[in-house]
Amino acid sequence: MQFNKKEYKSKFDEYLKDNRIVKSFQTFKIKLFLGKAENSLVIAKYHKDIKPGKDLPQKLHWDYWAITISYYSMLYSAKAAILSKGYEVKDHFAAQIALGHLMVPDEIEKEDLDLLNQAYKIFEDEYIKYFEDARKESHSARYSAIKTYTEERVNEIYKNAQEFVLKISKILA
C-alpha cells in the first residue's frame, strides 16, 4: 500500500471498529517486545550469515528464515511502538496500519520535532515501506513452494530490519 496518511487514518478507524486494533494500557509489554525484536535480529543474522555444510539444509532454506525472522523483529518493535501510543494489534496488516497512523508525523509535527532538536524521533513513511516489503517477502518465503533470494536481497531486508528496530528503540528511549 502506497503511504497516504489520510488512508491510514481511515483504515485505523475501521480496524478499531473491527477489533483488529484495540486500546491497551499494558505498557509493561513495550520492553518485552523490544527485547524480542533485538534478539530476533541476532537470530536473523545467524541464519543470514550461515555457511551450511553438507549435513545441513541448503542456504536457500536458511535465507527463508533470515527474511522471516527479520520481518518478525520489525513486527515486535512495531508492536512496542503501537503500545506506547495506547493500542495493540491483532494481525500483521493491522500492525502496518497502526504504525503508519500513530507513528508517522504530519508536517506540523515534523516541524515541531525539528524545532525541539528531536528530529531523531521522526518516523518517516520510508519505515512503513520497509515493514510492508518485509511483510510481503516473509509471507512469500513461508508460503511459496520454492523461491530463491539473492544474497543482496536477504541483506537488504535484514539491513532494513536493523534500521527499523533501531529507529523505534531511539524513539521509545
Mean pLDDT of 26-44: 98
pLDDT score at 148: 82
**pLDDT value for 123:** 78
Q: Is 40 helix (H, G, I), strand (E, B) or coil?
A: helix
Output the pLDDT for position 70.
Answer: 98
Task: Give the pLDDT score at 125.
Answer: 85
d(CA 68, CA 128): 17
Q: What is the pTM of this model?
A: 0.91
Grid coordinates 524480542 are at which residue? 36
- Spatial separation of the C-alpha atoms in residues 74 and 127, rounded to whole Å: 10
- Render pLDDT for 120-164 as a digit per residue (tens, 0 to 9): 666 788 899 999 999 999 999 888 887 788 899 999 999 999 999
Looking at the chain, the whole-number percentage of residues with pLDDT higher than 70 is 90
Residue 1 is predicted with a pLDDT of 56
Per-residue pLDDT, averaged over 32-51, amounts to: 98
Q: What is the pLDDT of residue 15?
A: 98
Summarize pLDDT for 73-93 with one digit per residue, the tens.
999 999 999 999 999 999 999
Exposed, middle or buried: residue 38 (CB in 10 Å: 0-12, 13-18, 19+)?
A: middle
Can you give the pLDDT at residue 105? 75
Tell me the pLDDT band of 115, cut-offs 50, 70 and 90. Answer: low
- Flag whether pLDDT at 9 surpasses 90: yes
Instruction: Specify whether the CB–CB gap between 95 and 89 falls below 8 A.
Output: yes
Question: In whole angstroms, what is the distance from residue 114 CA to residue 118 CA?
Answer: 6
5-172: CATH architecture: Up-down Bundle (1.20)
Q: Above pLDDT 90, what percent of the chain?
A: 77
